[in-house]
Amino acid sequence: MSQWKSLAFSALTVALVSSVSVAPAQVSINIGVAPVCPYGYFDYAPYNCAPYGYYGPDWFVGGVFIGAGPWFHGHHGFYGHVDNRYDPHHGYNGPMPERGEQPFNHFHANAAVDGQGHIGNAGHDGSHEHSAGFQGHGGGHH
């Protein structure tokens, strides 16, 4: 009888294993909508609003921020000027704008970074960028 139970158990195991269907795994990552900030937002989580003066005009096209981090939508190979003295990762602890605040105007570049925060060459001198990008004088798309 024990041999009969072993055979029945084996048959049941084979039946159960063969009836299992394999479905492809699906991975979905929803990052949500980009933060609404008057001067753009930092390219790292939690994507807080950047203070005025961090991003230069290169980062704005037609008055619209071209995004950073997961929402970056500038052209391939883009590097735009930033003033990283306004980055908390570089020691800045001054005022930060709240989401939805209205912008004002002045900028002094000291670095160029891509949409993911990597330092590079913007292909032009940022010291001549005097008006803020939200005024529509950006250089992100040519």
Confidence at residue 122, expressed as pLDDT on a 0 to 100 scale: 81
pLDDT in tens, 36-86: 998 899 999 999 999 988 999 999 998 889 999 999 988 899 999 999 999
75: nearest Cα among 63, 54, 59, 64: 59
Confidence at residue 17, expressed as pLDDT on a 0 to 100 scale: 53
User: Picking from 3-7, 97-101, 119-123, which range would have the lowest pLDDT averaged per residue?
Assistant: 3-7
Residue 138 identity: G
Under the banding of pLDDT at 50, 70 and 90, the label for residue 23 is low
Confidence at residue 31, expressed as pLDDT on a 0 to 100 scale: 74
Phi, psi of 3 (to 5 degrees): -65, -40
pLDDT in tens, 85-101: 999 999 999 888 888 77
Confidence at residue 13, expressed as pLDDT on a 0 to 100 scale: 58
Q: With beta carbons less than 8 A apart as the criterion, state whether 56 and 82 touch.
A: yes
Stronger pLDDT, 98 or 24, i.e. the higher one:
98
Q: Which two tokens stand for residue 17?
A: 């294993």
Q: What pTM, to 2 d.p., does this model score? A: 0.56
Stronger pLDDT, 61 or 9, i.e. the higher one:
61
